[in-house]
Amino acid sequence: MSVMTYRDALNEALKEEMERDPDVFLMGEEVAEYDGAYKVSKGLLDQFGEQRVVDSPISELGFAGLGVGAAMVGLRPVIEFMTFNFAFLALDQIINNASKLHYMSNGQFRVPIVFRGPSGAALQLAAQHSQACETYYSHAPGCKVVTPGTPADAKGLLKAAIRDNDPVAFMEGELLYNFSDEVPDDDDFVIPLGVADLKREGSDISIVTHGKMIHVALQAASKLEKEGVEADVLDLRTIRPLDMDAILETVAKTNRVVYVEEGWPYAGTGSQIVTMIQEEAFDHLDAPVLRVTQADVPMPYAKGLEGAAKPSAESVLKACRQVLYR
């Protein structure tokens, strides 16, 4: 095992997949000459050249569409958005074209393309640059949605996403790029899409989450341990396809669930997952399932208000106490 940052794990995944498959190429704003807005593509231009590491204009709809066309004729594009907030400009290409073409062509076209970049709030980037975007993309049939929360997951899931024959929205945590942790020393380390990971084992309550909220959930679990409560912490890693078997297993074990997500509560990812838990595991529940989300407001710019709007270990702890009737 090697210790590396989330950023370097993504860089290593891109490098290994581009070495493995000459059809893989990277395109996006500042990915080449500048080494990427977050330095995820550092060194790739020097190694692979300007035909495979391509700087694009600030035109998300345009270069996303170019990527869709390239995927239709057999290439494997990785399209980087400087932030998924900017990808809203390309929703027509991602949803109406990439996500639907396999179905609409009766299987004549596959669209093996990865749309990747940071999602969710960072620090004081205000309302238009702080949105957790998973729900927008998981709502559409045909688009897979991946939200890695650790360096190892970032590497293994990105490699799987690049190899996948369907469109993948790969949403990274902007605040995680400098986070370091162990990553297996294996240039073929691949984590299958749609497989959740139990990050911490307990028996009293299940905290289910994804993306960078896994770290908030683990902080809350550590606080619960001091109160004599052991929490299962399940990291979904992939929102679509969803590992419902893993969710049902933890519900059956603990009988109490708190779902944590970075997005808004109304029609959020958690709404879907909680509904599925109620439908498929109702008899296992000893308490209603509670959700912890961002406040239902555009993200404030002011630092204090921003902190109050984000999910926190304390808000997760409060929800867990409610579910435990403590």
Read off the pLDDT of residues 259-286 as tens digits, 9 standing for 90 and up: 999 999 999 999 999 999 999 999 999 9
Read off the pLDDT of residues 6-24 as tens digits, 9 standing for 90 and up: 999 999 999 999 999 999 9
Q: Which two tokens stand for residue 261?
A: 């997500």
> CA–CA separation, 77 vs 87, rounded Å?
16
Q: According to the model, what pLDDT value does residue 326 have?
A: 87
Q: According to the model, what pLDDT value does residue 174 have?
A: 92
Residues of the chain with CATH 3.40.50.970: 2-183
Q: According to the model, what pLDDT value does residue 161 have?
A: 98
The domain over range 197-323 is classified in CATH as 2.70.70.10: no
Q: Return mean pLDDT, the chain.
A: 96
The domain over range 2-183 is classified in CATH as 3.40.630.10: no
> CA–CA separation, 133 vs 150, rounded Å?
18
Average pLDDT over residues 160-165: 98
DSSP state of 26: E
Amino acid sitting at position 80: E
Read off the pLDDT of residues 37-80 as tens digits, 9 standing for 90 and up: 999 999 999 999 999 999 999 999 999 999 999 999 999 999 99
Q: According to the model, what pLDDT value does residue 244 have?
A: 97
Residues of the chain with CATH 3.40.50.920: 197-323
- Report whether pLDDT(187) > 90: no
Q: According to the model, what pLDDT value does residue 291 have?
A: 97
Q: Which two tokens stand for residue 194?
A: 């749609």
- Report whether pLDDT(184) > 90: yes
Q: According to the model, what pLDDT value does residue 63 have?
A: 97
Q: Are 155 and 16 in contact (CB under 8 A)?
A: no
Task: Give catalytic residues, as residue numbers.
Answer: 60, 129
